[in-house]
Amino acid sequence: MGSYKYCICFTRKFRWNEARPPPDVESAFADFAEGGTSMTPDHLRRFLADRQQEGDLGAAEAERIVERVRQIRHRNPLGKLSRPLLSVEDFHHFLFSVELNPPLVSQVHQDMTAPLSHYYIYTGHNSYLTGNQLSSDCSDVPIIKALQRGVRVIELDMWPNSTKDNIDILHGRTLTSPVELIKCLKSIKEYAFTASPYPVVITLEDHLTPDLQVKVAQMVTETFGDMLYYPDSDDVEEFPSPEFLKKRIILSTKPPKEYLEAKSLKDQGGASINVKDQNDDEQWGKEVPDLKIKIESADKSEDEEEDDNDVDDDDPKLHQNVAPEYKRLITIRAGKPKGALKESLKVDPNRVRRLSLSEQQLVKAAASHGADLVRFTQKNMLRIYPKGTRFNSSNYNPLIGWMHGAQMVAFNMQGYGRSLWLMQGFYRANGGCGYVKKPDFLMQTGPHGEVFDPKASLPVKKTLKVKVYMGDGWRMDFSQTHFDAYSPPDFYTRVGIAGVPADSIMKKTKAIEDDWTPVWNEEFVFPLTVPELALLRIEVHEYDMSEKDDFGGQTCLPVSELRPGIRAVPLFDRKGVQFKSVKLLMRFEFV
């Protein structure tokens, strides 16, 4: 009896039936098809204009779509000799095609002529690390991968090499193995514009002496040549636009702290120190009593250490110690908070700059100085970086930064998890070019100086209706026994919103038992107060009674970019790589 039961389960494992088109698809076909039986290119044009709100595609484009569907479905040997008609199954195939019917517009469509500060910019943190923050290798490979995915801000931590005559990239005061700066620069040059023509920003964490800064200036100018952009003068009143900076590379950094402090103290009569001759242990990790240089605890990140003890970028006496060739190349001047945060967030009408805050500093600033943050980011750049205890390269909630106008919410791209899924989804907007225009309300100031408040209670602006019809593709992308050894999987979908607190929610469908092609036909309604910052979160899991539910795919889609109508939604793995076949059929409707 036991073996007979096993045999039944074993045969169930391979059962698969192609699901019929959902009732909504059959109904739409019947409404537009000729006699309810076949659809011509002209019928398809009317359907796309009326139900999918795509406008008039034109006769030629409609014919191209019909021919493409027929080629895929029937491998039609007669080609255009036979009359181009779609059956209801062909129509269903078209709607369920990620290639022909995606959920987002694939082209850049936003105004790209505003200053850089008007855009969210796809930003990496410690872009050279292959894994964790403490012991992984440093390499140009994760930099290349990030650029290929459309990341526009690459961070490099520059340190003197072991012989003090060249520059290494590594995570300082850790066991990470170095990679040469020149190798990283050459890879950036080669891959900078493979995914997007818009500018790449290199943020430099600088731990170098002036002679090595000169070397950096030479490397950068020789490697990038005419690709490198830098301003004519020190004080820039407004950042250039992404359009103006197309196919250009720009630098963002500030003068190095340790050297300037030592020099400043020497000028004030303190003891001198030859920084160039110090080894790493002496230079960065050991107290020098005469100089009273404050050495921070080793469990803080480099970024956090620099927050506490920074030089004043405005001091002209200190600037003369920085290699002029190097200083001249900096387009986005950076700094950390000095003294009271409110002072650091003051807007200078005569120049723009970049301020960096840790994720914890941002949370505190949002609670006490939210309006100041928004005003600052209307003209200046704000960069947010992960706290130093994220040793495993995890990330944080990016929406806090976005809600306050922060342009550079820096993430560990080599990690993974729901926060990174939000980041990847957010930058699917605007054709995936890595620059997303900030909503108008974040750029506006009221008659009494009032600005957007993410904590304010706002009325519902738009309601999104989402219908989850069905899913397919797991039988192609996963082994037959991946989810369950003896039966087909039991899939359910989680659907929700990530956005301002009032809009954020998650819901889920019922689990469909024993089916590789689950059909849910469930609708969800999401009232949105700030749809411009909302992301539609979608996850598929396989229900497991005895263990943790299995992961079956995910995606995040910018609500403001969703194409209305019935759409094919591709799913991605945990790392954000698109599956070859796994997808959902969904409908999006705004009311």
CATH topology classification for 116-262+321-429: TIM Barrel (3.20.20)
Q: Tell me if residue 92 is catalytic.
A: no
Ramachandran region, residue 255 (left: φ > 0; alpha: ψ -120 to 50; beta: rest): beta
Tell me the mean pLDDT in the region 191-207.
Answer: 97
The amino acid occupying position 258 is E
Instruction: State residue 77's pLDDT score.
Output: 52
Judge contact between 258 and 284, C-beta under 8 A. Answer: yes
pTM of the model: 0.87
- pLDDT, one tens digit per residue, over 274-305 is 333 333 222 222 222 332 222 233 334 445 44
Rounded Cα distance, 105 and 547, in Å: 39
The C-alpha angle with vertex 72 and arms to 66 and 73, in degrees rounded to 5, equals 85
Q: Which residues pair with 553 in a beta bridge?
A: 540
Judge contact between 323 and 213, C-beta under 8 A. Answer: yes
Residue ranges, comma separated, of all CATH 1.10.238.10 domains in the chain are 12-95
- pLDDT, one tens digit per residue, over 503-517 is 999 999 999 999 999
Measured CA distances, 402 to 342, 377, 383, 384, 556 (Å): 19, 10, 11, 10, 16
pLDDT band at 364 (very low <50, low <70, confident <90, very high): very high
Instruction: State residue 453's pLDDT score.
Output: 95
- pLDDT, one tens digit per residue, over 54-73 is 988 899 999 999 999 999 88
Residue ranges, comma separated, of all CATH 2.60.40.150 domains in the chain are 462-590
Measured CA distances, 82 to 3, 41, 77, 91 (Å): 54, 13, 9, 18
Say what percent of the chain tops pLDDT 70. 84
Q: Tell me if residue 125 is catalytic.
A: yes
**pLDDT higher than threshold 90 for residue 32:** yes
Q: Write out the two tokens for 383.
A: 């960069």
Contacts of 579 (CB under 8 A, 6+ apart): 473, 477, 553, 570, 571, 572, 573
In the set 171, 207, 369, 541, the catalytic residue is 171
- pLDDT, one tens digit per residue, over 408-461 is 999 999 988 999 999 999 999 999 999 999 999 999 999 998 999 999 999 999
CATH of domain 462-590: 2.60.40.150
Residue ranges, comma separated, of all CATH 3.20.20.190 domains in the chain are 116-262+321-429
pLDDT band at 257 (very low <50, low <70, confident <90, very high): low
In the set 43, 125, 207, 541, the catalytic residue is 125
In the block, which residue shows the tokens 């659907």?
495
pLDDT band at 35 (very low <50, low <70, confident <90, very high): confident
pLDDT band at 337 (very low <50, low <70, confident <90, very high): confident
Q: Which CATH architecture has domain 12-95?
A: Orthogonal Bundle (1.10)
